[in-house]
Structure formats: structure tokens, C-alpha cells
Structure 1
Amino acid sequence: MKFTGVNLLDELARPELADLRAVFRKRSVNKGEVVFRPDGPEDLVFVVGKGRVRVYLAYEDKEFTLAILNPGDPYSTHSGCYIQALEDAELLLTDVRSVKRCLTEIPLFTRTMVRVLGHILRNSFSIIGGLAFKDIYNRLMDYILHEARTSGTPENGGRLVELNLTIEQLSQLMGATRQTVSTLLNDMERAGLMFKRGRGVYFIPDLDALERAAGSAD
């Protein structure tokens, strides 16, 4: 699920950046806590220190997850999105003015932030396109295929993929109900497209078969 390929915590831990690291303050948040809201007064930038948080949009009773941030990922609170802790987490917070030093002294900070924003923009277009042109079954299979190809582990001619998401979190990512996603996952297992190995862990025996099934669901 990590999409930047870079961990800013490693950069901030460099001895020569000790004074820069000091501008960040730690904030512990509890699982399920909505840390920031679109209408919040705070204008901050943070780096995830521990745990995972999700960035999402909400309209009436629907939620659309745009990104799941892991340790080392940065983000800004004035993006117009909700930020919620998926598990007990720790954030490293600083004001926007101090971030200018990060951008100057840690070029990697800029590149990583661009990757994060680019990923969220891509996810936004994907959600819009999925809602307009694909049904939930197709969106779910496309997502699992992507995760299997990018981060899955080869095993016995197939792929083992660790989504590290509960059914509820996966449904939020798909913009669907928990019951719908659970039913579709069971349907995929009955069809032999994949098999559950543990919480959020699935074995896909044949990626091509799953891809063909995703295509036929268009």
C-alpha cells in the first residue's frame, strides 16, 4: 500500500538535520479518530510517524478513500479532506512556514510530497471513472489485481497479496457497503479466483484468470 517508495523519517533522522527535526511536534491519535476535517482551522503539514491514516472525502452517508498514508508519508491538513487514523498512530506536525525549510534542506521532502499528491489525484480520477463506468465488482477486482501485481509475493505460480485492510476499510476504499464487498469477496472465492489466507491476506492462483474475469465484468 505504500506508494511513495520513500520514508521521510529516515531523512529526518540524519544527525545533520537535528535542528530541522526539532520543528516537528508529536501527536498521538487513537484508532478511528478523525484527526483533521475539511473545515478545521489548523493549517499544518504532517509526516506519519507510526501507524496508518487514511485521507478521504465524505458526502452525506458515503465515504471515498483517496489514500492510505504509512510511516514516512507526508500530507497537509488544508487539502479539503478528512484525515482518520486506521490504527493507533503518531503524527509529526509542523506549521506551513517551517515546511519551507524542509523543502529547502531536504529536496526529497518536495519529491515525496509531489508523489503523495500525484497518487491522490490519480485515485480521485480513478474513483470518478469507476463510479461512472464500472460496477463495484469490477472496481474491486481491478484494485486487487493492481495490489497483486505491484506488491504481491509470487507463490506456486500465483500471487499472495496482503491488503492489510479490514472489510470495512476495503469497502470505504471502494465506495461501497461492507456487506456488498464481503459478498463479492465470497463470490470470488467460490469462483476460484482467489482464496483467503488470513485477515486481509489472499492467494490468487492465476492473475490472468482474475484479469479476464475483471474484463468480462465491464
Structure 2
Amino acid sequence: MKQFGVSAPTMREALRILETEGLIKVQRGSIGGAIVHRPTPQTAAYTLAMVLRSQGTNKGDVVEALSQLEPLCATLCAGLSNRKSTVVRELRKINTASRALLDGDELAFNETMTRFHTALVQRCGSDTLKLLTGALGSICLADVRTWARSTSAHGHYPTAAERVPSIEIHERITDLIYAGDAVEVASVMTAHAKVTRKHVYGGGDLTAPVDPRTVHRSS
């Protein structure tokens, strides 16, 4: 307050805005204070969603863009010289965790499956694509989590047997990256995106506008 010559209410409002944007976390109490966070794809997603909302962009446009970018990330992963010790190792750990949850908690299984996509994007080797694809993924993640909670609550979440093909696709993608088959992994990722879109948005309205509020809550 002394440095900027502002009042206590003004400072509190500034901190509140920064916290809302995910740039700081304010800890209350005697040992509290403001902890600074670096901007992430999740915080970028909220800003991007606000821009898209202001332009009247619908969810379908975001989902389509993501379905184009994820295969590109997979292609880059397949071309990395260290892919076996980095990308493949991480993806196989996630696939193992997914199989362990086949008969377990549905929401935990869903989170593990989405983590596969996040890891694939974050390991692609391109900082720009990691940011753009990660931000779009965070926007779509709000709907994925809503779908998972709704179907689980109503007993419609895919059964253990119905979940197996999705894990097998993830395992095939991992094997193709291991083999360095950039062409085939892009094709499989594209087909996988269509199936995911059908599951999550099959009964939904893709013409609905992007909602920054749901993105912020999911990040």
C-alpha cells in the first residue's frame, strides 16, 4: 500500500482479482500471505474462453479445433528422439493406472483417462502447441467432467467392459509413438477424437456458446 499509494480496500480488490485469475493464491491466517503462481494453460484457458465468448464462438468450434491439434501433438511425440524414455514411459504409467481403475471409482477413472491426453500434449516438445492445445483442452475439460459426473450419478457411465476399448486405443497410441509411426498415430488420434466427441457431446448442444465460468471452476 505504501509503495503504490493505495488504500487497503483497493489492495484487497487487486489481490482478489489476481486470485480469481489464478495468478496468486491468498492464504489466510497468521502465517498467510499471497503466493505467486506462474500462468498455466489452465489460466490461459479462462482468458481464451472469455475472448471466444465475446466473439460468440460455440463449443463445437472449440472441440473441432482440439480434435485437429491433438493428433498434431501425437505426431510430434512420435518424432522425438527421447520419446521412449519420456513420453512413452509416462503414457504407459497412466495406462497402467487406468486399467487398475477399470472396476473402480468412475470419476477417478475418467480423470486418469483425461490425464493421458494432457500428458501427450505437454510432452510434444512445442511450447506454443502445449499452450494452445492445453488451453483448448481445459475449456473442453469442463464439459468432460460434467458428462462424467452426470452419467455416473444416473448410472449411465460406461461399464468396465465398455471402458476397455478406450484404454486399448490409448495403449495403441502409446505403442505407435514408441515405434515412431507419426502417420498412423495421427490417424488413430483423429478417430479417437471422433469417438470421444460422440460419447461426451452425443446428446449435448455443441451450438451453445463457450462459458468462461465453467472453465474457471474446472481449472
TM > 0.5? no
State TM-score, norm by structure 2: 0.23
**Whose strand fraction is larger, Structure 1's or Structure 2's?**
1
Q: Considering only CA atoms, is the larger Rg found in Structure 1 or Structure 2?
A: 2
TM-score with structure 1 length normalisation?
Answer: 0.23
